[in-house]
Chains A and B, each alone.
Chain A
Amino acid sequence: MFSQNGLSLDQAPPISVVFRFFFSGALFGLIAGVLVLLFQTNIFNPNSTEALILTHTLTLGVMLSFMFAALFQMLPVIAGVILPSPVQKANLLQYPFILGVLILLLGFYTSESWLFIIASILLGGSIFYITAIMLKDLIKLPNHSASSKGMMVALTSLTIVIILALYMTGTLSGLLQGTYYSVIKEAHYSFGLFGWIALLIISISFQVIEMFYVTPAYPKFISGYLPYKLFCLLAFGLLISFYIAKVWVLIDIFLALVLSGYAGITLKRLTQRKRPLTDATVWFWRLGLSSLILSMIFILITTFTDIETFKQLSYIFFATFALSIVFAMFYKIVPFLTWFHLNAQGYFTAPMMHEVIHPKTAMKHLYIHLATIVTFVLSLFIAPFIYLAGLLTILSFGWMTYQIVHAWKLYQHTQETGEKFDMGSMG
């Protein structure tokens, strides 16, 4: 039935583009696990170098890699944005990006000013390059969905995150005086966690929750306005914080309420599924959204108290939120892409989705992930648990790395040995 050419590469990104970003994200996750073992409970002190290094390993190395994978895959599918020459773009982004992250981490560790300059060039150049391309294509879309609008706002936030980061690395390298360093640092943190990570997840969820799990659509006041409201709130905070630094307390309260509301509405939607079959990805969503609510509750508490444990719990649960959703997307995307690309190329010996990653394998990862979170929380009270948390982090990302390698090998094996549909016999 299908021609030997399969899907045009102009319309769908090659599977390798998506897989390689998942792969590099998982490798950074392994590094994060090793860092937890090395730095131990120092990671919970937000002013320590150890916390700075681990935070950037997770947010830049892990999350941004995963989010690039999701964007390369999702932009054509849910926004109709076709990125020409995706392999070339992935190359121009990924190599300087990986190098830039490693050099930045080394810069934090050694405080060598020249490392910050090189990291700024590599990270700033690669991230600005891809965000400019994606934003330009998104702006040109004649018809926007809630997801495409949200992605646009999230990418704008990412651009702001990088501009703010460049101010800070400029200061750390001695090129700038850094008069506004603490103001910018607070804004960088808020735009990064809420304007970029949370907003991108929210934007994608507007499409995928309904599509993957057959739930009622989000109310228009959420899907149509939430991304703009969040962004305006953050932009307001950034501008006012130059005059009133405490404005972030107010912004944090609003953000906590808005994000908890979003998580509550999404959890409710997951109870309204028309075919309530539960797999690991649904549980990853439930865990992620519940963790977002917990994180926001702890943020609210810390605006009124100075108890360090609550702050640390808010960090742990925010990381759980982001990683759980990434894992949910990963277990949906990787088997589907492997199956779809091979089918589109006409291989009737293509593995079924459950043969790429078995649902039980995803479920086992959910248990590992849950155990990781529990041990991180326990380590706040009983320090030696941090070793177990580090080992479980390595196991969790090792598990993921294995799934990517396995899917990639299956894909290649089918391409090398598989049989294609014979057009003549297919009528």
Chain B
Amino acid sequence: MTNLKKITLDARELEHPKPLELAMKALRELNEENYFYMLHRKNPIPLIDLASEQNYQVVNREDENGDWHILICKATHIDLSEFVVPDPTKE
């Protein structure tokens, strides 16, 4: 795995539309050397649509607790799914 800086957002207890508002802010900070990791209680379809539309690499996975892990980056040379971890807030 390459050394990309992680921008973490735990949005599980945030009321709509705060998660999307903060995620949009984080997306604007993305460059080739970082990635965005969001934990959400739902699969945020508008955010995923938007990021995919901008040709970002997007990974979305649901864990056994029903939480969604959403990873977004600009870099195309890495496999973003390798960055999925059980608890991204602990690192």
Question: Once the chains bind, are B16 and A1 in contact (CB under 8 Å)?
Answer: no
- Does A109 sit at the interface, judged by CB under 8 A? no
- Does A86 sit at the interface, judged by CB under 8 A? no
Residue of B nearest to A82 (CB): B49
Question: Once the chains bind, are B13 and A214 in contact (CB under 8 Å)?
Answer: yes
Question: Once the chains bind, are A340 and B49 in contact (CB under 8 Å)?
Answer: no
* A-B contacts, 15 listed (Cβ < 8 Å): A1-B27, A2-B50, A2-B54, A3-B53, A6-B53, A8-B49, A76-B45, A80-B45, A214-B41, A275-B15, A339-B21, A343-B24, A421-B28, A427-B29, A427-B32
- Does B14 sit at the interface, judged by CB under 8 A? yes
Interface string of A295-311 (1 = CB under 8 A from B): 00000000000000000
Question: Once the chains bind, are B17 and A353 in contact (CB under 8 Å)?
Answer: yes
Question: Once the chains bind, are A340 and B46 in contact (CB under 8 Å)?
Answer: yes
The distance in angstroms between the C-alpha atoms of A310 and B14, with both chains bound, is: 42
Distance (Å) between the CB of A301 and the closest chain B CB? 37
The distance in angstroms between the C-alpha atoms of A212 and B41, with both chains bound, is: 11
Interface of B is mostly: loop
Residue of B nearest to A215 (CB): B15
The distance in angstroms between the C-alpha atoms of A59 and B46, with both chains bound, is: 31
Known: A1-B54, A2-B54, A11-B49. A214 touches B14 (CB 8 A): yes
Partner of B53, one of A8, A277, A332, A427: A8
Question: Once the chains bind, are B54 and A3 in contact (CB under 8 Å)?
Answer: yes
The distance in angstroms between the C-alpha atoms of A274 and B16, with both chains bound, is: 13
Interface string of B27-55 (1 = CB under 8 A from A): 11111100000000110011001100110
| Residue among A1, A275, A332, A353 having the largest count of chain B Cβ atoms under 10 Å | A1
- Does B20 sit at the interface, judged by CB under 8 A? yes
The distance in angstroms between the C-alpha atoms of A336 and B15, with both chains bound, is: 13
Question: Once the chains bind, are A12 and B17 in contact (CB under 8 Å)?
Answer: no
The distance in angstroms between the C-alpha atoms of A80 and B45, with both chains bound, is: 8
Residue of B nearest to A332 (CB): B16
Q: Which chain A positions have C-beta within 8 A of B21?
A: 339, 353
- Does A330 sit at the interface, judged by CB under 8 A? no
User: Which residues of A does B touch, CB under 8 Å?
Assistant: 1-3, 5-8, 11-12, 76-77, 80, 210-214, 274-275, 277, 332, 336, 339-340, 343-344, 353, 421, 426-427
Distance (Å) between the CB of A245 and the closest chain B CB? 45
Size bracket, chain B contacts? 20 to 34
Q: Which chain B positions have C-beta within 8 A of A344?
A: 50
User: Which residues of B does A touch, CB under 8 Å?
Assistant: 13-17, 20-21, 24, 27-32, 41-42, 45-46, 49-50, 53-54
Question: Once the chains bind, are B15 and A213 in contact (CB under 8 Å)?
Answer: yes
Count how many pairs of residues, one from A and one from B, have CB atoms less than 8 Å apart in the complex: 58
The distance in angstroms between the C-alpha atoms of A421 and B54, with both chains bound, is: 13
Question: Once the chains bind, are A211 and B16 in contact (CB under 8 Å)?
Answer: yes
The distance in angstroms between the C-alpha atoms of A365 and B53, with both chains bound, is: 37
Partner of A11, one of B15, B27, B28, B53: B53
Distance (Å) between the CB of A8 and the closest chain B CB? 6
Distance (Å) between the CB of A1 and the closest chain B CB? 5
Distance (Å) between the CB of B38 and the closest chain A CB? 15
Q: Which chain A positions have C-beta within 8 A of B13?
A: 214, 274-275
The distance in angstroms between the C-alpha atoms of A7 and B53, with both chains bound, is: 7
The distance in angstroms between the C-alpha atoms of A76 and B13, with both chains bound, is: 24
| 19 new A-B contacts at CB < 8 Å, known A11-B49, A12-B46, A340-B46 | A1-B28, A2-B50, A5-B53, A7-B50, A8-B49, A77-B45, A210-B42, A212-B16, A214-B14, A214-B41, A275-B14, A332-B16, A336-B17, A339-B17, A344-B50, A353-B21, A421-B28, A427-B31, A427-B32
Q: Which chain A positions have C-beta within 8 A of B46?
A: 12, 77, 340
The distance in angstroms between the C-alpha atoms of A425 and B50, with both chains bound, is: 20
| Residue among A2, A80, A339 having the largest count of chain B Cβ atoms under 10 Å | A2
Distance (Å) between the CB of A210 and the closest chain B CB? 8
Q: Which chain A positions have C-beta within 8 A of B15?
A: 212-214, 275, 277
Residue of B nearest to A6 (CB): B53
Question: Once the chains bind, are A340 and B30 in contact (CB under 8 Å)?
Answer: no
Residue of A nearest to B42 (CB): A211
Partner of A340, one of B20, B29, B53: B20
The distance in angstroms between the C-alpha atoms of A426 and B17, with both chains bound, is: 23
The distance in angstroms between the C-alpha atoms of A427 and B56, with both chains bound, is: 13
Distance (Å) between the CB of B32 and the closest chain A CB? 8
Distance (Å) between the CB of A4 and the closest chain B CB? 11
Q: Which chain A positions have C-beta within 8 A of B50?
A: 2, 7, 344
Distance (Å) between the CB of A332 and the closest chain B CB? 8
